[in-house]
Amino acid sequence: MSKSKFFTGQPIFSQLLSFIDKRMVDRVASQCKADRYCRHFTTHGHLVSMLYGIFNHCNSLRELTSGLLAWEHRIKHLGIGYFPRRSTLSDANKRRSEEVFGKVYQVLYDKYRSVLPDSRTAKSSKLYIADSTTISLFQEIMRNAGRNPANGQRKGGIKVHTLMRADEDVPCLIRFSHASAHDSPFLKELTLPAGSVIVFDKGYNEHAQFEKFTKQKITWVTRKRKGTVYKITQHNPITQHQGSRGIQRDRLVTVGHTHHNDHTFVKARLINYTDPKSGKKFQFLTNNIELAPATIAGLYQKRWQIELLFKRFKQNYPLRYFLGDNENAIKIQIWCSLIADLLLKLIKAKAARNWSFSNLAGIIRIHLMTYINLFAFLKNPEKCFTLKPYESNQQQLLFKT
């Protein structure tokens, strides 16, 4: 009897995990000494358990462990031989360093970055975008920014500092800090190739780093902060074509002040821009004096891509509730969410049918443990479930008539 070609011997979750080499995870765990004093619940098992909870939107350890228990007879398909209890998973989230999961993400990113979606022009290949997003926590685990609320119940917060390439749509560098920490120190950790372009918001106000980027022949583009002290050194002419594209002014300035001894003067270019559609006004600062002013404005507009990344990240992964009440557990869950996001981006890139990310994430969550060929299913999900396991003309009657 001819079986449907859509069904496979591995559930969809196992097919997702096939992108993660178990030997690589064991190697990274050995380098970080993450499996010391662990007899059964290894780093790989920990990663698989967390990914199950993330893909399945589990909001508690009980949901995660009971969900795995329901599939205990199929647990070998996931490449793990030990079923974790709540206490085991809780202790692992507290004791196993989040560093090992960060290195696993970095190895996966380096391995698959060449096949990530790239529907943009080649000019974006050297464009980097830096920004941060804050995730509120349910209690005072990490310090949050802002004033204390009137009811005195102040929540904690973790800030995720992110660097991404515009042609990859996934983070290439991640750092964590308290929500109350400033964004500027993140720029000091960046090592970019000469000729790159980096775009960031006005929160990254670090004049010394701006000068360092200029010496490294890296173009930076940002917005001018309110109250910025600067001195105009030259007015550049505005053509009629540039004016029609929203350029109001183009000037060379020296940014800096002498309010304290530790000051740095930055030679920059100040561009006044008005969006032709919305009428909103912006002031851009950059160290590039060769590009057209409208091009500078267009580069900054690409910064919105990282906001869409943060929106996708918060909407599709369970980050309202964390599976631990300590800083290490929170960072582990964020790293595993980033790994899950990278896996889904790979699936989206390889799928024959053009899926929206939210629909893809939802359909995989529903059929996470379904035994069906993932890519055949994504190509034609309706046909996949309308076909019978056996052809209709070969069906046998259960009872004689």
**What's the mean per-residue pLDDT of the chain?**
84
pLDDT of residue 1: 39
Q: Which residue has the higher pLDDT, 10 or 148?
A: 10
Look at 120-129, 250-259, 300-309 and tell me which has the smallest mean pLDDT.
Answer: 120-129
pLDDT of residue 2: 45
Rounded Cα–Cα distance for residues 208 and 212 (Å): 6
**Alpha-carbon distance values, 134 to 8, 176, 320, 338, 390 (Å):** 41, 10, 12, 15, 52
pLDDT of residue 214: 93
pLDDT of residue 272: 95
Residue 315 has pLDDT above 80, yes or no: yes
Average pLDDT over residues 342-363: 90
Handedness of CA 29, 334, 17, 308 (dihedral sign): negative
Q: Which residue has the higher pLDDT, 290 or 318?
A: 290
Confidence of residue 398 (pLDDT cuts 50, 70, 90): very low
Q: Which residues contact 181 (CB under 8 A, 6 or more apart)?
A: 159
Confidence of residue 83 (pLDDT cuts 50, 70, 90): confident
pLDDT of residue 151: 54
What percent of the chain has a predicted confidence (pLDDT) above 90? Answer: 48
pLDDT of residue 117: 62
- The CB density around residue 292, as the number of other CB atoms within 10 Å, is 15
Q: Which residue has the higher pLDDT, 392 or 359?
A: 359
Rounded Cα–Cα distance for residues 152 and 270 (Å): 43
What digits encode the pLDDT tens for the residues 164-204?
999 888 999 999 988 888 888 899 889 999 999 999 998 88
Tokens of 145: 């920014």
Confidence of residue 258 (pLDDT cuts 50, 70, 90): low
The three-class DSSP label of residue 3 is strand
Look at 35-44, 139-148, 208-217 and tell me which has the smallest mean pLDDT.
Answer: 139-148
Tokens of 389: 């396991």
pLDDT of residue 70: 78
What digits encode the pLDDT tens for the residues 235-254?
999 999 999 999 999 999 99
Tokens of 348: 């989206």
Tokens of 301: 């507009």
- The CB density around residue 182, as the number of other CB atoms within 10 Å, is 14
What percent of the chain has a predicted confidence (pLDDT) above 70? Answer: 83
In the chain, what are the domain boundaries?
Answer: 12-102+324-386, 202-302
| Residue 10 CB burial class (10 angstroms; 0-12, 13-18, ≥19) | middle
- The CB density around residue 62, as the number of other CB atoms within 10 Å, is 11
- The CB density around residue 167, as the number of other CB atoms within 10 Å, is 19
pLDDT of residue 395: 41
Residue 370 has pLDDT above 90, yes or no: no
Average pLDDT over residues 357-371: 89
Of 74, 103, 72, the closest CA to residue 85 belongs to: 72
Residue 326 has pLDDT above 90, yes or no: no
pLDDT of residue 139: 59
Q: Which residue has the higher pLDDT, 82 or 40?
A: 40
**DSSP designation for 371:** B
Helix ranges, 33-112 (H): 43-55, 61-70, 86-95, 99-112
pLDDT of residue 385: 59
Residue 344 has pLDDT above 50, yes or no: yes
Confidence of residue 38 (pLDDT cuts 50, 70, 90): confident
